[in-house]
Amino acid sequence: MRVNPFYDSWLFLIGEDAFHLGIGPWRYLLVAIYWALAIASVYLAYRNWQADPAQRTRAHLGTWLARALIGTMWFEGCLWKLPIPSSGFKYWLEQEGKYAAWGFYQDFVTSVLLPGFTFMNIVAFLAEIGMAASLMLGFGVRAVALFGMIYAAQLYIGLYRNPSEWPWAYVFIIVINWLFYIYAAGRSLGLDALLRRETNLEKSDGIVARLYRWAS
C-alpha cells in the first residue's frame, strides 16, 4: 500500500518496497543494478557538461532528467515481472485477453500469448530492463524510444476496455517516447552525446557506425 511519494521512493531505492520484497534475496542484485545505472547516468551527464559547453542548457538538463525518470519507471515495471513466471504479469495478460479494444486481439492474446506465457514473461522483463538501461544511460535512445512507443501501444490496445485502467496513461508514454525520438534524447548529457563527440562514429562509413547513428 502506498504511503507518500517520498517514503515510497526511498523504499524503492533501498529495495524494501512490495515489488522488491516479492523477489526475495535477488532484490539486492536488482537494487545494485539500479544504483549502478543511476550513478552512471549522473557521471555521463557530468562528463558531457564539463566537456561540451553546448550541453550546458536547461533544455539538455531537463531532457536528461526526463530520460532518467522514464528509465526508472521502466525499471520499476520490470520488477513485477519477477520471479519468472510472475502471477502479476499473468493476471494483466489475462486482462488483455478480456478487455482488448478488438476481438481479434483478444483472440491473439488468449491463443498465442497466454499459451507461451513463460516465454512472454521473459521477453517483457528483458524489454523493460533494457529500456530502463538505455534511457538512464542515454544509449541508443532513438531506437529504444521507437520500441517503447510500440510497447506502450500494445498496452493501450490490450487494456483499452479495462474499467480500472485509464487509456490516456499509455498515450502519454507513447508521446514522451516520441519526443525522445524526435529530439534524440540520448544526445542530451547521455552516452550517445559522448560517443558521437569522442569517437569516429560520426565520420565512419561502416555498417555498425551507420546503424548506431540511426539508433542514437
Q: Quick one: pLDDT at residue 209? A: 87
Q: How far is CA 88 from the centre of its chain?
A: 18
Q: What is the pTM of this model?
A: 0.94
For every residue of 155-207, DSSP letters joined together read: HHHHTTT-TT--THHHHHHHHHHHHHHHTTGGGTTSHHHHHHHHSSTTT--SH
Q: Quick one: pLDDT at residue 206? A: 87
- Ordered mean pLDDT values, 10 residues apiece, the chain (216 residues): 91 94 94 98 98 97 98 97 94 96 97 96 98 98 98 98 96 98 97 93 85 92
Q: Quick one: pLDDT at residue 35? A: 98
Each domain of the chain, given as residue ranges in start order, spans: 5-215
Q: Where are the beta strands (DSSP E) in 61-107?
A: none
pLDDT digits (tens, 9 = 90+) for 23-72: 999 999 999 999 999 999 999 999 999 999 999 999 999 999 999 999 99
Give 9-40 as a 3 state SS string. Answer: HHHHHHCCCHHHHCCHHHHHHHHHHHHHHHHH
* Cα–Cα–Cα angle for 196, 198, 202, rounded to 5 degrees: 35
